[in-house]
Amino acid sequence: MDRDVSDPRGVAVSAHATGARTAGSRQGVTLLGSTGSIGINTLDVLAKHPERYRVVALTANTQVDRLYEQCQRFRPQRAVMLDSDAAGRLAEKLRLAGVPTEVSAGNQALADVAASPEAQIVVAAIVGAAGLLPTLAAVRAGKRVLIANKEPLVMSGGIFIEEARKSGAQILPVDSEHNAIFQCMPNGFVAGGSRPEVRRVLLTCSGGPFRTWPADRLVAATPEQACAHPNWVMGRKISVDSATLMNKGLELIEACWLFGLEPEKVEVVVHPQSVIHSLVDYTDGSVLAQLGNPDMRTPIAHALAWPERIESGVRSLDLLEIAHLDFGAPDTVRFPCLRLAYEAAHAGGTAPTVLNAANEIAVQAFLDHEIAFTEIAQIIEATLDRSGTCSADLLSTILAEDEKARRLARELVHAHGQARQASARSTGGGA
């Protein structure tokens, strides 16, 4: 039987669900998406506390060399690659190096390591909808699940919250904004709960690399410019989401599920310095904020050790060096993705699933130079307009609507490409 540990927020919680350590034990950690920016930062924090954590499993999509290096250093029991050819190459490299890590491939293998009894903590950092099923497997297995990817809650937040209630899993946010809100929430708060004393939450937003660009310049923005975030080092997909403000749109939908809020109680505030990571506004007029340098190791360390705190490697915040903090309202005319996310949140059902699917397709098309930056929002809006909204109570329905939306978004990307070619020919710019 799991012993009960004292929760400083006043709630008795299971040691299994919280990931609390027993004396002399090390917690097993499975890292879903270890080769991305979140995964690399998580391993950096784990490496600082070898007496406290052991790496059970690492997973990646196709980055063989990086996962090989991670396996050499951390010696996990298992490594999983989504791509089977990549898994074969990894297995051979590890065999030649004498590293005994077991290698497997595919979605089922991802779900298996996510639910493995060897790990008490699962860090969900797989980008996009690909992270939905393994993250859900971890929740159903009653893990402490550190959610760094927004898409599972955006696509199927109701299912995730209900499964966590059934299994006793603990969902802790790693996104800097949601982690900040969690730190500012009242005693006894659990993910999915609703607290009447919370009037609203304020999600801060850097504004991205195009914050000061005029609207007529955005059409010519390149993937390289979109990925040059002023404050954070992130992967290409999330960097583009930050540039369009869709990242903040996905975060507001996620916040509704995590904190039991209606969309109108989640307010986005542009804060270019990225020092205040988010705020909670209470009915008595108090506003609590979490501040820190823009470094993902802070929320990772907080979620790993909660309710304790551990060294993260992040330097202390110097307010005198910062000198001032600026705030402003987001521009949903220049950046319509945020408006589309609010509309999807209000519509509910499978609308957020469609929003997310269309965004993934459109962002990849932009990164592949198939569409312009401003066409990302156009494709998302057209996909939403042409897709019906139905109940999101069943995972099968969500997955089916996700696939339909992706097919429609791909068709729209193709149509935009054809229109661009026709326009170029008519103006003498084409063959």
CATH number attached to the domain at 4-174: 3.40.50.720
Parse the chain into domains and list their residue ranges: 4-174
Q: Which tens digits make up the pLDDT trace of 201-236? A: 999 999 999 999 999 999 999 999 999 877 666 778
Q: How many CB atoms lie within 10 A of CB 154?
A: 26
Residue 388 · residue 408 · CB < 8 Å: no
Strands (E), 25-129: 27-32, 53-60, 78-81, 102-105, 121-124
Q: Is 326 exposed, middle or buried (0-12, 13-18, 19+ CB in 10 A)?
A: exposed
pLDDT at 419: 80
User: Does the pLDDT at position 373 exceed 80?
Assistant: yes
For 173, the token pair is: 């946010």
Say how far apart CA 16 and CA 12 lie, in whole Å. Answer: 12
Other CB atoms within 10 A of residue 235 CB: 17
Query: Residue 49 has which token pair?
Result: 């506390």
With CA atoms as reference, report the closest residue to 398 among 332, 349, 360: 349
The larger pLDDT score, comparing residue 253 to residue 24, is at 253
235 or 344: which carries more pLDDT confidence? 344
DSSP class of residue 288 equals: E
Q: What integer pLDDT is reported at residue 429 of this predicted model? A: 56
Is the pLDDT reported for residue 45 higher than 50?
A: yes
Query: What is residue 16's predicted lDDT score, i.e. its pLDDT?
Result: 38
Pairwise CA distance, residues 1 & 173, whole Å: 27
* Mean pLDDT to the nearest integer, 366-391: 96
pLDDT for 103 = 97
C-alpha torsion sign, points 211, 249, 266, 42: negative
pLDDT for residue 228: 87
Q: Is the pLDDT of residue 15 over 50?
A: no
Residue pair 291/184 in contact (Cβ under 8 Å)? The answer is no
| Cβ–Cβ < 8 Å for 366, 417 | no
pLDDT over 60 (residue 66): yes
Percent share of the chain, pLDDT over 90: 83
Mark out the alpha helices in 128-233 (DSSP H runs): 132-140, 151-167, 176-184, 215-218, 223-226
Q: What is the pTM of this model?
A: 0.88
pLDDT higher than threshold 50 for residue 10? no
pLDDT of residue 11: 31
Predicted pLDDT of residue 120: 97
Residues in a beta bridge with 170: 144
Least confident of 137-146, 190-199, 419-428: 419-428
CB-based contact 363:405 (threshold 8 Å): no
Residue 148: is its pLDDT beyond 80?
yes
Minimum mean pLDDT range among 2-6, 49-53, 162-166: 2-6
pLDDT band at 17, cuts 50/70/90? Answer: very low
pLDDT at 24: 52
Is-contact 397 379, C-beta < 8 A?
no
Average pLDDT over residues 47-67: 96
Cα dihedral across residues 58, 22, 135, 268: positive or negative:
negative
Q: What is the pLDDT of residues 235-248, one digit of tens each?
A: 789 899 999 999 99
CB neighbourhood size of 101 (10 A): 22
- Integer Cα distance of 268 and 252 in angstroms: 8
The rounded radius of gyration (Å) of the Cα atoms in the chain is: 22
pLDDT of residue 165 exceeding 50: yes
- Return the residue matching tokens 């993260």: 312
CA torsion, points 140, 141, 145, 148, in degrees to nearest 10?
A: -60
pLDDT, tens digit, for every residue of 248-307?
999 999 999 999 999 999 999 999 999 999 999 999 999 999 999 999 999 999 999 999
Tokens of 181: 């809100």
Sign of the Cα pseudo-torsion (229, 234, 240, 243, in order): negative
Alpha-carbon distance of 179 to 56, in angstroms, equals 24
Handedness of CA 382, 383, 389, 392 (dihedral sign): negative
CA angle 360, 363, 366 (to 5 degrees): 150
The per-residue pLDDT for 418 is 82
